[in-house]
Structure formats: C-alpha cells, structure tokens
Amino acid sequence: MLLMVGLGNPGPQYEGNRHNIGFMAVDEIARALSFGPWSKKFHGEIAEGVIEGRKVILLKPLTFMNDSGRSVQAAAAFYKIPPADILVFHDELDLPPGKVRVKLGGGHGGHNGLRSIDAHLGKDYRRVRLGIGHPGSKERVNPHVLGDFAKVDRDWLEPLLDEIARHAGPLVKGEDAVFMNRLSLATGGSQEPTGAKGAAPQPAAKGQSHIRQARTGGKPALPATGPMAGMLKKLFGGD
C-alpha cells in the first residue's frame, strides 16, 4: 500500500494558492484515475484507489500546513505504512514554475509542511517537489506562496497536473527517474534526467520546409536541380 499526500491549506480562500499545488496534484490523480469519493478521516480527507495494481491512499491534511505531520502520522499508523511508502506532493520555491523533481529524504528547506512531517515521521519519505518559482527576495516569499496562481500560470499548471496523473504509474512503482523524464517530455521540457530506464526517447528534431525556413528568418537553402528548383528560386528570390 502507498500513501500519497498532497500538502495545502483547507478552505476556499486558499484553493488557488501556490502553496496548495500539492492538494491540486492529488485532486487531479483522484479525478483522472477514478478513485473513490473523498471522506474525512485522520484529520484530513482521504480517497482510495488502485494504480498499477497497487492500492493507493490519497490524503489531504486539513490541519493547516504547519501541522500536516499529525494527519500523515495518523493515516500511516492506521494502515501500517512505513515512511518509505509515503509520497508527499508539495510546492517548491527553489524550482522554476512547472519543474518537478522527486527525491527521498533530505531537509525541509523551510517548508513548514515538510518540517511537521519530519517531526512526526522522520525524513525517510519521498517528496515530489513541484516548482512554483522564487519571487526574488525573502520579504516576498509569504505573499508569493500564499498568493493565487495568476491566469497566465494556467498555461503550464493545468497541463502539468494532467501529466502528473497520467504518469503516476512510475511513481507507484518507485521509478522516479522515469516519472521525471516522461513528465518533462510531456510538458515540453528538456529530457531530464537522461538515461532513465524505460523512459520515452527524445523526439528527433523535425526538418523545416523551405517555406517555413523563409518565414522564420534567414535565406533558405534551395535545391539546385529538380522539378521544384525553378519555382522556389522565383518564390524566394534565388539567383
């Protein structure tokens, strides 16, 4: 059994906050993968389902961020789930918006939700770090994380959440590198990390047509002979 935890703050006033991207991720997993209904338990809300043949419990703590560990510990104790089988989705200031990294253990980096979980369970659980970007100065951090995503952010946020749910299988199987690789490719990022076992290959760059080359700037390389040569030279001003 795997416990997937999304971190956030409860209540409609926080729904669109950057700090609530963890809630958003598990909500989309529950919706896209047809989990059961949410019910209140363990100082939070839980939903049950199956991914890749493995039972998964989704948890959204309703204790507010600073006390998330109390909810996670209660659920883990009831289901007898060790920290190694706990996966926490959370916002990450130190990653650009839309970037995702998965890691096992480590520090909390000032994140109060992780700090609380560390205090209750230790550090040996997996974290899915969802980049929200840094506002640039320490004084602007709180307004940034507790502010709503801007409308323009939806251009990357909604596809990212869709792809997290779509590629949840590798996460459940412990194939974190594969998950990151597929997610990066699916959302238009670079292939990271390279060499992940089972990762989809990087698509080969497509050649541009002569007309597209002309539209995107620079003089295209025109064929010297053949049925298209004369027409293309007239069209693009070739000698």
Q: How many other C-beta atoms lie within 10 A of the C-beta of residue 208? A: 12
**Distance between CA atoms of residues 68 and 78, nearest Å:** 16
Cβ burial, residue 170 (10 Å; 0-12/13-18/19+): buried
Look up 120 and say whether it is catalytic.
no
Q: Which residues, including other chains, have CB under 8 Å from residue 163's CB and lie 6 or more apart? A: 182, 183, 186, 187
Please identify which of the residues 19, 90, 111, 144 carries the catalytic annotation: 19
**107-to-57, 112, 191, 223 alpha-carbon distances in Å:** 24, 11, 26, 59
Place of tokens 């412990």: 174
**Distance between CA atoms of residues 34 and 29, nearest Å:** 8
Do residues 70 and 43 touch, judged by C-beta distance below 8 A? yes
Residues with a known catalytic role: 19
